[in-house]
A and B are shown apart, each in its own frame.
Chain A
């Protein structure tokens, strides 16, 4: 009981998100009750829709697959201290890049085709967000604003190419690029009705976590993200790290775009822009920018989507119901973050005050 209070408590910290979910569900139940529905029935339906059976789970995982990657697109630059919100544009660029790479390679072996599409998509997404990082490092432009604006440009360019130079002339009322041959589509994971994009997302998240947690470079990133000036003074190359992490983040969203083309739509068209990039922002914040925690966060958001489907069909509730749940959840999670790392004791006034009162070392000394 007399230990220093400022140390993080791993157990309590891990319980915080769970507590947030419970509190959010309680608030949501209140809202549901006010709307004249039985909260228990609604909660049961939500659970059944998202995780109730094999169909629910696969529905959830399928929806979560692109969200893991777009969550990483926000979480990775955040490790270098940047708030990037242009994931939707990077996804659009990635889808466009992947579809463009597929055109000259029609008929090539599938492995070559997929690799080329993935590389092209990652490059396109990486360049877009990397540019945002470069603007910030070299021109002092706020990366949040620039990535958002670049995202609009990317979506507009995607629409331009899809409706113009890259348009399949046969796609009359739904402008699209040339479709992949059916046998060139990425298939499902063995035994599952979920495409391989899920596995790609999981691998990327784990790799990113291992890299950041266990390598010397990961330590460098932590220093750069924690205090760029101190990092620069210590002789670390801050700018390449910042731009690089932005580019890798953008590449993750670009890869999500490639997977939408190669595993879901078969071509690049406006239908693949359904807000995965924006959901990634939410997911990264829920996950506290931890690549490994992005996985459960993406599954949670995917599950809410799946639950919304059942809720509409079973209880005739509007689609906005799950948006309300998602909103409450987000606010409670963020609010709970303020409790993280605090002393969970009856306040003992002397110790923390003393700690704070310790004079800071003289800067110019």
Chain B
């Protein structure tokens, strides 16, 4: 309503000059454009308030809304099929979005690539780190974070809090990204308790609340006293642990509210950092970055604040390693490292920094993990 009241001749001329298609735009977007601002689109694969993967992205969208001259439009529960192609197109064509953040991993191939080729002047930033020079269009970008750093720190905290030395990990699929998190968590825990073990259960898909609850209960029945997970919505796992008096470490976003007693800490995304990089580049007319990655040091990931039950000793141990990570002096995956079948996967003397391509194809579980891929 206010938009119409503030309608003036100047705005009208600007709007009329912009493009005939602007007639389709809602007044608020028209104003943002007239003010020299840009429109930014966000597409989520699940619900914005899932206490997990999508909420982490929506938090960044909410932060972008506060930037001057930025108008944010969002769409949730968009499946990884023609629906996302049409949503991206609509944001580009109907809403004149300068950049669309396609936040689900499965959006990339073929959907993001197809739409990007069709609209070479639009920009699409995809979360997942798949873009490669020469192979993919220049108006597509990848951004991703090294969240295994936070998993390692969570492992340290869990290792120093647990009484049984047994941890339960509810995971979606045995794919490299997930295995890397399970391994980092276990390595962190075993760095402070060499006898610690992680039991892993794969549920088979990203959002399987019933299976996640079954897995969590079964892990607790096996004597695990700290649960963590890599699924889209950690809500079920964290709540189950809390209900049964066990500890939990979160993932994606903070689940502290769901488990005020047992929540230790968690590995969270901080997408505000990469998202702002893209938006600033477009606002300032700088070249669009194609590949943006970072860890704790770069502010792409962060830890949930420690829960009340976390001891001073555990806090200090984790903070010490975190300080090294922030200086870029810490390597998680280094030799000699054996997998849980006894095979050497990283020989002694060799170490893989976060950017190492070898880590992208991880297909093993390290010693101390009970389970198989």
Identify the A interface with B (CB < 8 A).
53, 55, 59, 62-63, 156, 159, 163, 172-175, 260, 264-266, 269-272, 274-275, 305-306, 309-310, 312-314, 316, 318-319
Contact B81 A271 (CB under 8 A): yes
Contact A310 B110 (CB under 8 A): no
Interface residues of B in 197-251 (CB under 8 A from A): 204-205
Contact B82 A173 (CB under 8 A): no
Contact A173 B83 (CB under 8 A): no
With A59-B86, A174-B106 as given contacts, are A310 and B177 in contact (CB-CB < 8 Å)? Answer: no
Contact A318 B81 (CB under 8 A): no
Report the bound CA distance from A174 to B111 in whole Å. Answer: 13
Report the bound CA distance from A55 to B360 in whole Å. Answer: 39
Contact for A55 among B47, B48, B90, B205, CB less than 8 A: B90
* Shortest distance from the beta carbon of A147 to any chain B beta carbon, whole Å: 21
Contact for B94 among A265, A271, A310, A316, CB less than 8 A: A310
Contacts of A59 in B (CB 8 A): 86, 90
Contact A319 B73 (CB under 8 A): no
A-B CB contact pairs (8 Å), 7 listed: A266-B110, A270-B106, A271-B81, A274-B80, A310-B94, A313-B75, A318-B48
B275 at the interface (CB under 8 A from A): no
Contacts of A266 in B (CB 8 A): 109-110
- Digitize B331-371: 1 where CB-to-A-CB distance is under 8 Å, 0 elsewhere: 00000000000000000000000000000110000000000
Contacts of B149 in A (CB 8 A): none
Residue of B nearest to A49 (CB): B90
B76 at the interface (CB under 8 A from A): yes
With A55-B90, A172-B176 as given contacts, are A313 and B95 in contact (CB-CB < 8 Å)? Answer: yes
Interface size class of B (residues with CB under 8 A): 35 or more
* Shortest distance from the beta carbon of A202 to any chain B beta carbon, whole Å: 17
Contacts of A260 in B (CB 8 A): 81
Identify the B interface with A (CB < 8 A).
24, 26, 41, 47-48, 73-83, 86-87, 89-91, 93-95, 105-106, 108-110, 128, 173-177, 204-205, 360-361
Contact B175 A175 (CB under 8 A): yes
Contacts of B91 in A (CB 8 A): 313
Report the bound CA distance from A319 to B76 in whole Å. Answer: 6
Output the residue of B75, B78, B81, B87 with the most chain A CB within 10 A: B81
Residue of B nearest to A163 (CB): B173
Residue of B nearest to A55 (CB): B93
Contact B77 A274 (CB under 8 A): no
Contacts of B24 in A (CB 8 A): 53
Contact A63 B74 (CB under 8 A): no
Contact B106 A309 (CB under 8 A): no
Contacts of B205 in A (CB 8 A): 159, 270
* Shortest distance from the beta carbon of B128 to any chain A beta carbon, whole Å: 7
Report the bound CA distance from A159 to B208 in whole Å. Answer: 14
* Shortest distance from the beta carbon of B89 to any chain A beta carbon, whole Å: 8
* Shortest distance from the beta carbon of B86 to any chain A beta carbon, whole Å: 5
Contacts of B41 in A (CB 8 A): 313
Report the bound CA distance from A117 to B318 in whole Å. Answer: 54
Contact for A172 among B77, B82, B87, B361, CB less than 8 A: B361
Contact B81 A173 (CB under 8 A): no
With A265-B110, A274-B81 as given contacts, are A309 and B86 in contact (CB-CB < 8 Å)? Answer: yes
Contact A63 B175 (CB under 8 A): no
- Known A62-B82, A270-B205, A271-B81; further 19 A-B contacts with Cβ < 8 A: A55-B90, A62-B86, A172-B175, A172-B360, A172-B361, A173-B105, A173-B175, A173-B176, A173-B177, A174-B109, A175-B173, A265-B110, A269-B106, A270-B106, A271-B80, A309-B90, A310-B94, A313-B94, A319-B47
Contacts of A274 in B (CB 8 A): 79-81, 83
Contact B81 A310 (CB under 8 A): no
Contacts of B95 in A (CB 8 A): 313
